Amino acid sequence: MIKIYGFIAVAILLIIGVTLLGKHHSERRHKVARSLTIDDMHSRHSRHLIDAIDAERIKQNLRALTKHPHVAGTDANKRVAEIIQQMWKEAGLEGFSSTECAKSLIFLNCNSTQQIS
């Protein structure tokens, strides 16, 4: 008889425990993380890039680059390229050199009355 009462007590405790556990989990539902989409990543990266834009820095760079005329192929244009190269190095874009730039062939249309040296 004592075994039966013990069995009933254990069964009741198990039922109460399972009920409380179920109630606990139903009140605190686990939120399933939504997987990132391309649009989510694009939005996140776009915001990061837009936040990094510094209008004053752009203004300074444009003033430095347009201070003197620099027709393509001239020494003035080479100086502008060197300024850009220095800006890129300051921004952490290492590995860019004038020899890499010189390897690129650029074909330009130019007015026959202009002489490019």
Note the pLDDT of residue 107: 54
Q: Can you tell me the distance from the alpha carbon of 58 to that of 56, in angstroms, rounded to the nearest whole number?
A: 5
Q: Can you tell me the distance from the alpha carbon of 46 to that of 56, in angstroms, rounded to the nearest whole number?
A: 20
Residue 101 pLDDT class (50, 70, 90 cuts): low
For residue 88, is it within any domain?
A: yes
Q: In this structure, how many other beta carbons lie within 10 angstroms of the beta carbon of residue 80?
A: 19
Q: Is the pLDDT of residue 115 over 70?
A: no
Q: Is the pLDDT of residue 93 over 80?
A: no
Note the pLDDT of residue 12: 93
Element (H, E) at 99: helix 98-103
Domain count, the chain: 1
For residue 49, is it within any domain?
A: no
Domain of 78 in residue numbering reads as 68-117
For residue 34, is it within any domain?
A: no
Q: Is the pLDDT of residue 108 over 70?
A: no
Residue 102 pLDDT class (50, 70, 90 cuts): low
pLDDT digits (tens, 9 = 90+) for 52-77: 899 998 999 899 888 888 888 888 88
Note the pLDDT of residue 24: 84
For residue 104, is it within any domain?
A: yes
For residue 25, is it within any domain?
A: no
For residue 56, is it within any domain?
A: no
For residue 51, is it within any domain?
A: no
Maximum distance among all Cα pairs of the chain, rounded to whole angstroms: 118
For residue 113, is it within any domain?
A: yes
> Is the whole model's pTM more than 0.75, yes or no?
no
Q: Cβ distance 52 to 68 under 8 Å?
A: no
